[in-house]
Chains A and B, each alone.
Chain A
Amino acid sequence: MSRVGHNIHVSVDRLRQLAHRDGRPRRIKADAGTCPKCDSHYSADEMRRNLRVCPACGHHFAVTARERMEQLGEPGGYVELWPELRASDPLQFTDLKPYTERIVDAEKSTGMGEAIVCAQLEVRHQPAVAAVMDFTFMGGSMGAVVGEKLARACDYAASEGLPLIVVTASGGARMQEGTLALMQMAKTVIALDALADARVPVVVVLAHPTTGGVWASFASLGDVTYAEPGALIAFSGPRVIEETTREVLPDDFGRAEAQLRNGQVDAVVDRRELAERIGRVLHILSRPPGDDASTAAPALQWAQGGAQKVGEAVQALPSLPRKMMDRIRPGSTDGEDAGDTPA
């Protein structure tokens, strides 16, 4: 116990990343028309048409949850689930402003009831349930409503046998709800297991930013995990790390591209290809008609099919010595074959 050690490691990878410096993580402006990277100007219409990606430099602007639903869904749109749920104020919390005031302000400025929108939709003809977070509503923070809506989305997707798509954009747990906000991490992780029980996949898309208790709960438990270019993905933000450890962080610290190198995400996907990419992977993972996930696992079905094929192949090889055939033919020790075999 008296041995002196230390836990601050600087890996070779990190040193190598110092060579890949990029711009600082950007601040979010929901409806900005000017690209912070290259200063190109866009009308509101152009922004929407371009999926809020700068055609000149590829910078990804923030997207509200409802606009994201429109981007992912078919032209027919989406059916929103549980839009009526609202936050309460269990702590009568006040920081620089009372929490109740913050909620009212957020509702007014965003036109949303909470920091997450859940809906049923089709992504490139693949039916799914989507839960999309909205950074413009109190930094996308997760309080009881976000936790509850996400948990209900998991239950609903599982009961319908539909895959779940989660798009995150959140600073983490909603501090104004205190310890109960922390508990939403447990609630959401537990709820995700309904999907495992129903054998339907969950696709997570990490948008800028995904940090704190959201990254440390459901956001890091996707079966397939995509990240948008430049998204900050971290448990602790760069400022907290620099203040705590006095480390000097590279400018691309925690960004999607770095987290791909770190093995924390499966791919960095441009928003203009995102719906296509999700549709494709959902198609790959979808079951053909008659392949019922609830009766037998695919691995078991394949094993049964494979055993039958081996049996047929063996039957077709009469030149093999009898003893060897008996040994490898499935089921050869019982039924009529058993009678032919010398004891």
Chain B
Amino acid sequence: MTDRKQGGRFVRKVADKVRRGPEPQDEDLWERVQLARHAERPYTLDYINRLCSDFEELHGDRYYADDAAMVAGFGRYHDHPVAFIGQQKGRDTNERTYRNFGMAGPEGYRKAMRVMEVANRLGMPVVTLIDTPGAFPGASAEERGQGGAISRSIQMMWRLDVPTVAVVIGEGSSGGALGLGVADRVLMLENSTYSVISPEGASAILWRDASKAKLAAQAFKPTAANCYRWGVVDAVVPEPEGGAHTDHEQAAEILDQYLSRALAELGAMSPADRRRARRERFRKLGPLRDPEGGMGMATGRETPPPG
């Protein structure tokens, strides 16, 4: 990265903006969803190419095929080897088709697991970049075990001994997103979304009307600030003024600061401590009522995200 000091000032400035900003309401929420999947927004490879001084992309799951919707490989990051994995979207029509709109099939998750296994064996951290409307809904994907591929990817991420960081960089929807989301630290870009299902999917199922996506987005409130409040993510990564699509360089620079700090913190912990904390982190998610034992079990944060 080029100018660290300038980047630091910028982060503080944007962080202040995020902290002071009001809770986004209805119209804003829909705009946020649009921003999260803006066609000019930096995608996984845009970040990898800026974060790493060198990157060797790997291909194929060694069982069946290569899945272009999932990118995985080894990068040189701050002079250390780090595995980078993420869903990849395309910009023009050809590329979008080639990348299957960032919807990975079982081969994508199996490729991800293959790279995670090597990373674990060689002792390098794993960084995942989440950007998908969901895992690919297709008959062929189901035949080859889409459900089992996602569940095993979740299981493998939980079992890793090395430090792991997941970053929601754009659209994080459904199990397809969570398949790369079980990490020691989960970061989320300011204008990204993280949700149980895409607004369009929810609209068709809950409102039985495909045109209610806006309503669905407002009901799910899947913003970075809310995910932080719920305890789903550990930090909100600010974006350049106007959104990450306005300045890829600066977006990557800010992410670099958060990512390198997270990896440094995690590197200071023992593998056993990391796994214990990782288990606790996910175990406590989800508020409940216990009418017999009184309230309690409620989790999440009351305060807005720090920068």
Chain A contacts of B155 at CB under 8 A?
A: 189, 192-193, 221
Contact with A along B195-228 (1 / 0, CB 8 A): 1110001101111100000011001111000110
A317 touches B (CB below 8 Å) = no
Please tell me if the beta carbons of A235 and B298 are within 8 angstroms of each other in the complex.
no
- Closest chain A residue to B156 by CB distance? A189
Chain A contacts of B146 at CB under 8 A?
A: 216, 234-236
Select the stretch in B6-14, B72-80, B132-140, B265-273 that faces chain A: B132-140
A86 touches B (CB below 8 Å) = yes
- Closest chain A residue to B90 by CB distance? A1
B33 touches A (CB below 8 Å) = no
Select the stretch in A23-31, A88-96, A158-166, A268-276 that faces chain B: A88-96
- Closest chain A residue to B105 by CB distance? A7
- Closest chain B residue to A194 by CB distance? B279
For A, the interface residue count at a CB cutoff of 8 angstroms equals 73
A243-264 contacts to B (CB < 8 Å): 243-245, 247, 249, 253-254, 262-264
Please tell me if the beta carbons of A189 and B151 are within 8 angstroms of each other in the complex.
yes
Please tell me if the beta carbons of A14 and B148 are within 8 angstroms of each other in the complex.
no
* Complex: A14 Cα to B215 Cα, angstroms: 38
A13 touches B (CB below 8 Å) = yes
* Minimum C-beta distance from B277 to chain A (A): 12
* Complex: A191 Cα to B222 Cα, angstroms: 26
Please tell me if the beta carbons of A182 and B136 are within 8 angstroms of each other in the complex.
no
Please tell me if the beta carbons of A187 and B288 are within 8 angstroms of each other in the complex.
no
B87 touches A (CB below 8 Å) = no
Chain A contacts of B69 at CB under 8 A?
A: 7
* Complex: A6 Cα to B138 Cα, angstroms: 12
Contact of A183 among B105, B201, B282, B291 (CB under 8 A): B282
Contact of B175 among A182, A192, A245 (CB under 8 A): A182
B306 touches A (CB below 8 Å) = no
Chain B contacts of A184 at CB under 8 A?
A: 285-286
Chain A contacts of B159 at CB under 8 A?
A: 193
CB-CB under 8 A for A186 and B147, given A175-B196, A175-B205: no
- Closest chain B residue to A244 by CB distance? B137
* Complex: A216 Cα to B278 Cα, angstroms: 20
* Complex: A5 Cα to B65 Cα, angstroms: 12
- Closest chain B residue to A191 by CB distance? B283
CB-CB under 8 A for A247 and B175, given A1-B95, A87-B288: no
B154 touches A (CB below 8 Å) = yes
* Complex: A192 Cα to B220 Cα, angstroms: 28
For B, the interface residue count at a CB cutoff of 8 angstroms equals 76
Chain B contacts of A95 at CB under 8 A?
A: 206-207, 215-216, 219
- Closest chain B residue to A5 by CB distance? B98
B252-297 contacts to A (CB < 8 Å): 278-279, 282-283, 285-293, 297
Contact of B283 among A87, A181, A187, A192 (CB under 8 A): A187
- Closest chain A residue to B135 by CB distance? A235
A43 touches B (CB below 8 Å) = no
B182 touches A (CB below 8 Å) = yes
Please tell me if the beta carbons of B151 and A221 are within 8 angstroms of each other in the complex.
yes
* Complex: A94 Cα to B103 Cα, angstroms: 28
- Closest chain A residue to B45 by CB distance? A1
Please tell me if the beta carbons of A262 and B143 are within 8 angstroms of each other in the complex.
yes
Contact with A along B92-130 (1 / 0, CB 8 A): 001101101001010000000000000000000000000
Please tell me if the beta carbons of A179 and B194 are within 8 angstroms of each other in the complex.
yes
Please tell me if the beta carbons of A90 and B300 are within 8 angstroms of each other in the complex.
yes
* Complex: A9 Cα to B100 Cα, angstroms: 12
Please tell me if the beta carbons of B221 and A91 are within 8 angstroms of each other in the complex.
yes
Chain A contacts of B47 at CB under 8 A?
A: none
* Complex: A88 Cα to B143 Cα, angstroms: 36
CB-CB under 8 A for A91 and B220, given A183-B285, A190-B283, A235-B142: yes
Chain A contacts of B138 at CB under 8 A?
A: 7-8, 236, 241, 244-245, 247
Chain A contacts of B195 at CB under 8 A?
A: 178-179, 182
A117 touches B (CB below 8 Å) = no
Chain B contacts of A249 at CB under 8 A?
A: 139
* Minimum C-beta distance from B149 to chain A (A): 8
Chain A contacts of B105 at CB under 8 A?
A: 7
| 7 extra interface residue pairs, beta carbon distance < 8 Å, beyond A4-B94, A88-B288, A179-B230 | A1-B90, A1-B95, A86-B291, A96-B208, A184-B286, A241-B137, A247-B139
Can you spell out 10 A-B residue pairs with CB atoms less than 8 angstroms apart? A88-B289, A95-B207, A177-B286, A182-B194, A186-B178, A191-B283, A220-B147, A221-B148, A235-B147, A235-B175
Chain A residues in the interface with B (C-beta under 8 A): 1-11, 13-14, 84-88, 90-91, 93-96, 143-145, 147-148, 151, 173, 175, 177-187, 189-193, 212-213, 215-221, 233-236, 240-241, 243-245, 247, 249, 253-254, 262-264
